[in-house]
Amino acid sequence: MITFDVLHFFLRTWKRLLVVGALLMLFSLLSFLFFDDFELQNPSIWDHLISTFSHQFISLIFFPVLYTLLIADLVLHDLKENYAPFILARASSRVSWYLAKVSTLFYVAFLFVIVAVGMWLTAGLLKGLSWDTFSHPTFQHAGELGQSPFLLLALMLLFYIVGLTVAGAFVLWLSLQLENSILAWGGIVLLGLLSMAAFNANRALFIWLPLSQLMFKIHYPYDQLDPKLRSFTISWSGIYLVLWLLLSLIFGWLRVRRMNLSLKG
């Protein structure tokens, strides 16, 4: 079921994947505009990666919005296009179908992050950035704690993959609840804007908002400048993401378990 759903997704949305890929490529070339750690004189590719991937626009708006654009109609497409009877006649339960969708979310998030990293690294190479230094303050603070810079990068990417999957699960539930994938996608755009507003105006509120967890470099102790963010740790964000995922799954399960699986009237 999972293999089927993942394959079905890629075969169905290949045009949208190309558009998203093109947008990622464009933004990877423009990524130097989002490098906001200006005190670094000669940033390396890794400094560039962590600085831009943690930029408020990229992490709170661009990546989540682009990713959810891919998956917002993951469930509703089957129902609206009358494809669901084909699948459900072969599925053991509605929940197994729904969990296959959640697995697809994970695979798409994984691919999204890998492609984005690949493009960012290529852009860095084209710009002639070096590979061998880790000057960014995040790496410096991690070094003081005895953490390897690559472990830190892996953690950031893991947060992205999990964070995007969780955002996808939320959109999945919202789309089932509203029976409208555009409104569900709008929900994530709104959350991104709220998080960005809170980041700029109210940091105490910021840590409570979904998507904030994707802004990796401002987690304590990697960022020690803002005392209001002392409680915004990796553990905090990890727990936050797990709880958000569980809630989205539970609400999605409750909805999909009973709803009328046809939106064709």
Residue ranges binding other proteins (CB under 8 A): 1, 3-4, 7-8, 11-12, 14, 81-96, 98, 256-258, 260-262, 264
Q: Are the CB atoms for 102 and 6 separated by under 8 Å? A: no
Pick between residue 82 and residue 130 the one whose CB is nearest to other proteins. Answer: 82
Q: How far apart are CA 208 and CA 125, in angstroms?
A: 36
Pick between residue 163 and residue 252 the one whose CB is nearest to other proteins. Answer: 252
User: Least distance (Å) from other proteins to the CB of residue 50?
Assistant: 39
User: Least distance (Å) from other proteins to the CB of residue 94?
Assistant: 3
Pick between residue 6 and residue 24 the one whose CB is nearest to other proteins. Answer: 6
User: Least distance (Å) from other proteins to the CB of residue 258?
Assistant: 5
Pick between residue 58 and residue 176 the one whose CB is nearest to other proteins. Answer: 176
Q: Are the CB atoms for 46 and 64 separated by under 8 Å? A: no
Q: How far apart are CA 104 and CA 136, in angstroms?
A: 34
Measuring CA to CA, which residue among 172, 136, 163, 171 is closest to residue 152? 136
Pick between residue 5 and residue 47 the one whose CB is nearest to other proteins. Answer: 5
Pick between residue 63 and residue 98 the one whose CB is nearest to other proteins. Answer: 98
Q: How far apart are CA 100 and CA 229, in angstroms?
A: 36
Buried b (16+ CB within 10 A) or exposed e, 216-244: bbbbbebbeeeeebeebebebbeebbeeb
Cβ atoms within 10 A of the Cβ of 26, count?
A: 11
Query: What is the residue type of 94?
Result: R
User: Least distance (Å) from other proteins to the CB of residue 179?
Assistant: 12
User: Least distance (Å) from other proteins to the CB of residue 241?
Assistant: 25
User: Least distance (Å) from other proteins to the CB of residue 201?
Assistant: 43
